[in-house]
């Protein structure tokens, strides 16, 4: 049985073309309740959508929480747990002295992380993990929402 004092978050990003129309989604679960959130952007990358899913999920928390954040993105999981501190020391440069991609989102995620106690959990994508599959469906709803808006505006 899951700890009822922990917010379980499952995130995913999707992109049709890379860059292309993208979507992000998150499933949040706390004390027997669930909340689904999703959105998208017209021209983006998959990595930006993966980051945005985690950002939007953490932004939706109303107070500091203990969180298990599940992502199928090694970019997000390794970035936050292995690379971020080095990037900051090097003034947002990679070990090759190139600017960190998606620095704006990494900075935002870094500020949100300071507000919570987060355990970052990597889960293999598209492996039948039911909550990860739901996050994937939400991300694809974000793509569909943007695609529908573009069709209506054309």
**Is the per-residue pLDDT at 35 higher than 80?**
yes
Backbone angles phi and psi of 88, in degrees to 5: -65, -40
Is residue 134 predicted with pLDDT exceeding 70? yes
Q: Which is catalytic among the residues 13, 22, 25, 40?
A: 13
Please, is 140 exposed, middle or buried when counting C-beta atoms within 10 Å of its C-beta (0-12, 13-18, 19+)?
middle
Span 61-79, pLDDT tens digits: 999 999 999 999 999 999 9
Catalytic member of 22, 40, 41, 136: 136
Residue tagged active-site, from 22, 72, 79, 142 = 72
Please tell me the class of the 6-153 domain: alpha beta
Percent of the chain residues past pLDDT 90, beyond the cut? 88
Is-catalytic flag, 12? yes
The CA distance from 15 to 43, in Å, is 9
pLDDT at position 124 is 87
Q: Is there a catalytic annotation at residue 50?
A: yes
Identify the residue with better confidence: 90 or 152: 90
* 70 catalytically annotated: no
Query: 3-state class of 95 per DSSP?
Result: coil
pLDDT band at 60 (very low <50, low <70, confident <90, very high): very high
Which of the following is catalytic: 25, 40, 50, 142? Answer: 50
Instruction: Please pick, among 12, 23, 39, 40, the residue that the annotation labels catalytic.
Output: 12
> pLDDT confidence of 135, banded at 50, 70, 90?
very high
Instruction: Determine the average pLDDT of the residues in 47-64.
Output: 98
Amino acid 151: pLDDT: 76
Which strand ranges, in their side-by-side order, compose the sheet holding 20-30?
33-44, 20-30, 6-17, 66-71, 117-122
Check residue 4 and give its pLDDT.
Answer: 64
Cut 0.85: pTM above it: yes
Q: Is the pLDDT of residue 1 over 50?
A: no
* Confidence grade of residue 152 (pLDDT, cut at 50, 70, 90): confident
Picking from 80, 67, 69, 76, the residue whose alpha carbon sits closest to that of residue 132 is 69
Count of beta carbons in the 10 Å neighbourhood of residue 30: 17
136 labelled catalytic: yes
Task: Compute the average pLDDT of residues 41-49.
Answer: 97
Residue 127 pLDDT: 82
């Amino acid at each position: 049985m899951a700890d009822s004092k922990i917010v379980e978050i499952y995130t995913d990003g999707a992109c049709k073309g890379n860059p292309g129309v993208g979507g992000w989604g998150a499933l949040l679960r706390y004390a027997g309740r669930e909340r689904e959130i999703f959105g998208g952007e017209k021209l983006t990358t998959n990595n930006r959508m993966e980051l945005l899913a985690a950002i939007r999920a953490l932004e939706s928390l109303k107070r500091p929480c203990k969180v298990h954040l599940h992502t199928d993105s090694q970019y997000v999981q390794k970035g936050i747990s292995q690379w971020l501190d080095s990037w900051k020391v090097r003034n947002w440069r990679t070990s090759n002295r190139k600017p960190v991609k998606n620095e704006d989102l990494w900075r935002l995620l870094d500020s949100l992380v300071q507000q919570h106690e987060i355990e970052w959990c990597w889960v293999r994508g598209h492996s039948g993990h039911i909550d990860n599959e739901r996050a994937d469906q939400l991300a694809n709803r974000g793509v569909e929402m943007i695609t529908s808006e573009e069709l209506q505006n054309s």
